[in-house]
A and B are shown apart, each in its own frame.
Chain A
Amino acid sequence: MSYIYFPGCSLQSTGKPYEESMQAVFAALNIPIKELDDWNCCGATAYMSISELKSFALSARNMALAERQAGAGNSADMVVPCAACYLGLNKAHHYLAENPDLNAKIKGALGVAGLNYSGRARIRHPLDVLVNDIGMKAVTERVKQPLKGMKVACYYGCQLVRPYADFDDQHEPTTMDVIMKALGAEVVDWPLKTRCCGGSLTGTVPDVGQRLSYILLREAKKRGCDVIATACPLCQFNLECYQSEMSRKYEAPVNVPVAYFTQLMGMAFGLDHKKLGLKRLFVPVHAPAAVGGSHVAA
């Protein structure tokens, strides 16, 4: 099965290392993936709070394009790594299926542009695809440099499992844990898997937002983790970019590397670090001592 990749705005800007590492990992696992032609904004955040209809229309256009690109009769599974895009598109998918009035309006709007959305397009997160389609056998076989001794805190954030828990448990998700264990890493017991990172509050009300990020970082550090694995560009940004500011503000050092789970997969697969965007991280990730202990990022 071939997947249709929907990058959204983050993966080609602040989340670039996510895109790079995901594509490298998918290539290493021989998972066919092709970027969606002519994609547009997923419809998340700003649109949703100002005009729901426009937001759904934007989402639906992407899904309609995916159905067209897949071709009639083929499955149209969209791989959506950004958690906000994933939720935005998935929400539209659910709403349009459950709300015939809305569906009719959207159909009309798409029709003007010569597009049609049948509901066939499925919104998939890379965690879902890796665990449920590819399976851990294939992942384990591809591991060349196991992350032995590396303590990982798996951080899912809120949007992957709430309100739709389509591929993992709402409160106690495990897909990322399963992958990290397959890579040979040690998954630390971490009860904050889905606790808020601060979201956009980090930009709007920094005191509140940063405190939420700080709680996550401090607890990760306290549990002795070497790296926090994330699956969301905003989580990664919030947790990583303000660490020095937070350390000053709360008078406690919270320097913990925060990497995309796909970057850690790439490291375990022994892929070229340049292809994994590791150098783009502010806080360097250290490869486990067992495989050399070298500084990976400058």
Chain B
Amino acid sequence: MSQPNMKSNGTPKVGVYVCHCGINIAHTVDVAETVKFAAKLPYVTVVRDYKFMCSDPGQELIQQDFRDGKVDRVVVASCSPLMHEATFRRALAEAGGNAFMFQMANIREHVSWVTLDKVAATDKAKALIAAAVARVVLHQPLQKTSVPVNPDVLIVGGGISGIHAALTAANAGKKVYLVERDPTIGGHMAKFDKTFPTLDCSACILTPKMSAVRSHPNITLWTYSEVAGVEGYVGNFKVKVRRKPRYVDEELCVGCYECIEACVYKKPRFPDEFNVGLSMRRPIYIPFPQATPLVAVIDPETCAQIKTGKCKHPCVEACLRNAINFDQKEVIEEIDVGAIILATGFKTFDASRVSRYGYGKYPNIYSSLEIERMTNAAGPTGGEVRLTNGEKPKAVGIVHCVGSRDNHTNQWCSRVCCMYSLKLAHLIKERTEAEIYNFYIDMRTPGKGYEEFYERLLKENVHFIRGRVAEISDWAMTPEEEGKLVIRAEDTLVGVVRRIPVDMVVLSVGLEPQADADDVRRLFNISCGKEGWFLERHPKLAPVSTFTDGVFLAGACQGPKDIPDCVAQAGAATAEALALIDAGKVELEPNTAYVLEEVCSGCQTCIGLCPYSAITFDKEKKVAVVNGALCKGCGTCVASCPSGSLQQNLFTDAQILHEIKGVVNYV
């Protein structure tokens, strides 16, 4: 091993601290042996082990040794740096040292948690400690820099989560941009008639918040818009928003419906998205009476004028405020924000994917979202639950877990279906007096007042059959089954196969990530779990943060959630964003790249490769220059530099080579 540069560093004095992590590490790794081993490594002056290095007494061990002059740099062999690197760096700094004269050896996640073999575990722990010691010897003191934080917030998605986040941030005095891709905010919640378990009217509690968004002086609401590009970093994002043309001037339109009535399509004939296809709309439409903004929109796919240019466009003449403008073009807005909250929500499972349930094949089989619209007083049937022949159903089956808890489709529990199935059972019974049969695997009702609601439904004489439905078909075995939909399921409480004839079936579809969740995650440079939900930084302790600083998650884009949980999470995400903004500045990690000017040939290979546009070319000196505030320390330029003139703090060639040698020499 080559000698480290002693001139600037002095003779290194390395302290090695091995953590037992209770028994998490000590159960598999022979700690005493690693201590003996570490003591013999070059430049190591102190070796200690302790039950919990992250505890105050554990940190104090390090601090005391530093104050006593026994060590000038530290290796802690414990957990993942994601867990406690910040803790130990802070401890070292508080004792008067430099936070970056520190290296962590991960002997928990990378060692003790992944094997039961004690000999192999101890061997690997030793190798990792040797590597950390070899590298820390070459560490240099580094300083963090800080940049100011832009106080504005971008919120993507205007469902209940985005709405709540926007209002909370705006009420805290922040300027908020709320971007929604549909023509109105409101999301799924706007489609529901009632909410469980209180049965309060969904619109009554949501629409006041929607209009508050519209009128709030701190909120800029861009509906029918999508984020097209994101650059920059925590505290200083540059975002492009694509505002699609709605062909109606938002400032002029007052939502009077005159244009809609005047449309050449006298009969609405295009499936209405808001009513999930249960009714028809015209090419010019307002999604629903409380749409926010209450502004008409023209669908370019169906409007005769836009498609052919040959329409008499009576809508234009009907509008007294001249709001209709077929020349409207897409607009790209460019904004600077400090924090981003993603609240892009979910989509419901497509029930036709389970072919044996007959959705799309037999009449009177509906998805739960369709029934939500049907039970809604402002919905396509005015709140009446009716069969296709106009009659009230006498018997209705509600099938739980369609596209949930199923290895053939989605493995996860969608969390909301049991409760909304109960709600729909109540609403359908209230409107039709039908017999209701719930087919469930397990009733999952954990929540305030939820179990009580289940109890209430039992008392309302709704039937509950425990068993996953095998098949829904129209073939009869008995005269009672003739002309009915027959639901076949094993009743696992009784131990018999049941055939229940019904008039109507509700398929309680599960929740899925949005179809474009993967594109959105790339746009914002965050991660998805294997199911496609956006990944939080830590499932328990950082549930609204992401691995990209300054980007937070709210609502069902992170996983299935009901309304109370969405609102709670939106509040939490906003609090995190406010904490970031109100700190006023963000500290930047010093692990940035830098150029050794005397070696740089000025080839500019690095400039095109930098994903953060952090490198420029100094024409006078003919060398590359790294802007430390923009550099995120990804290392792309360092790896690509043909002359080796690009180096990176904490990842210099010498440090990495020494680290490798530490492992290799041990092995």
A residues near B (Cβ < 8 Å) are 169, 171-172, 191-192, 215, 219, 222
User: Nearest Cβ distance between residue A151 and chain B, in whole angstroms?
Assistant: 16
B270 interface residue (CB < 8 Å to A): no
| Nearest CB in chain A to that of B474: its residue | A191
6 A-B pairs (CB sep. < 8 Å): A169-B355, A171-B355, A191-B358, A191-B473, A191-B474, A192-B475
State whether B475 touches A172 (Cβ < 8 A): no
**Interchain CA distance A108-B471 in the complex, whole Å:** 45
State whether B475 touches A191 (Cβ < 8 A): yes
| Nearest CB in chain A to that of B408: its residue | A170
User: Nearest Cβ distance between residue A280 and chain B, in whole angstroms?
Assistant: 30
A172 interface neighbour in B356, B474, B477, Cβ under 8 Å: B356
Chain A residue numbers with a CB within 8 Å of B474 are 191
Chain A residue numbers with a CB within 8 Å of B355 are 169, 171-172
Chain A residue numbers with a CB within 8 Å of B475 are 191-192, 219, 222
**Interchain CA distance A215-B475 in the complex, whole Å:** 9
**Can you list, as one digit per residue, whether each of B477-491 has a CB less than 8 Å from chain A (1) or not (0)?**
100000000000000
User: Nearest Cβ distance between residue B355 and chain A, in whole angstroms?
Assistant: 4
B356 interface neighbour in A171, A215, A222, Cβ under 8 Å: A171
Task: Name which of B355, B358, B475, B477 has the most chain A CB atoms within 10 A of its CB.
Answer: B475
**Interchain CA distance A172-B473 in the complex, whole Å:** 12
Chain B residue numbers with a CB within 8 Å of A222 are 475
User: Nearest Cβ distance between residue B416 and chain A, in whole angstroms?
Assistant: 26
Chain A residue numbers with a CB within 8 Å of B473 are 191-192
User: How many B residues have CB within 8 A of the partner chain?
Assistant: 8
Interchain residue pairs A-B with the least CB separation, the first 5 = A172-B355, A191-B473, A171-B356, A219-B475, A171-B355
B residues near A (Cβ < 8 Å) are 355-356, 358, 471, 473-475, 477
Counting residue pairs across A and B whose Cβ atoms lie within 8 Å, the total is 15
User: Nearest Cβ distance between residue A220 and chain B, in whole angstroms?
Assistant: 10
**Interchain CA distance A172-B471 in the complex, whole Å:** 11
| Nearest CB in chain A to that of B482: its residue | A222
Chain B residue numbers with a CB within 8 Å of A191 are 358, 471, 473-475
**Interchain CA distance A222-B483 in the complex, whole Å:** 12
Chain B residue numbers with a CB within 8 Å of A215 are 477
Chain B residue numbers with a CB within 8 Å of A171 are 355-356
**Interchain CA distance A215-B473 in the complex, whole Å:** 14
**Interchain CA distance A222-B477 in the complex, whole Å:** 11
| Nearest CB in chain A to that of B475: its residue | A219
| Nearest CB in chain B to that of A171: its residue | B356
**Interchain CA distance A222-B475 in the complex, whole Å:** 9
| Nearest CB in chain A to that of B473: its residue | A191
Given contacts A171-B356, A172-B355, A192-B475, 12 further A-B contacts (CB under 8 A): A169-B355, A171-B355, A172-B356, A191-B358, A191-B471, A191-B473, A191-B474, A191-B475, A192-B473, A215-B477, A219-B475, A222-B475
User: Nearest Cβ distance between residue A112 and chain B, in whole angstroms?
Assistant: 39
Chain B residue numbers with a CB within 8 Å of A169 are 355
Chain B residue numbers with a CB within 8 Å of A172 are 355-356
Chain B residue numbers with a CB within 8 Å of A219 are 475
**Interchain CA distance A172-B355 in the complex, whole Å:** 6
Chain A residue numbers with a CB within 8 Å of B356 are 171-172
**Interchain CA distance A171-B354 in the complex, whole Å:** 9
Task: Name which of A171, A172, A191, A215 has the most chain B CB atoms within 10 A of its CB.
Answer: A191
**Interchain CA distance A172-B354 in the complex, whole Å:** 10
| Nearest CB in chain A to that of B470: its residue | A171
| Nearest CB in chain B to that of A211: its residue | B477
**Interchain CA distance A249-B600 in the complex, whole Å:** 95
User: Nearest Cβ distance between residue A207 and chain B, in whole angstroms?
Assistant: 16
Chain A residue numbers with a CB within 8 Å of B477 are 215
Chain A residue numbers with a CB within 8 Å of B358 are 191
Chain B residue numbers with a CB within 8 Å of A192 are 473, 475
User: Nearest Cβ distance between residue B364 and chain A, in whole angstroms?
Assistant: 15
| Nearest CB in chain B to that of A173: its residue | B355
**Interchain CA distance A219-B474 in the complex, whole Å:** 10
User: Nearest Cβ distance between residue A192 and chain B, in whole angstroms?
Assistant: 6
Chain A residue numbers with a CB within 8 Å of B471 are 191
User: Nearest Cβ distance between residue B609 and chain A, in whole angstroms?
Assistant: 43
**Interchain CA distance A96-B358 in the complex, whole Å:** 36
| Nearest CB in chain B to that of A215: its residue | B477
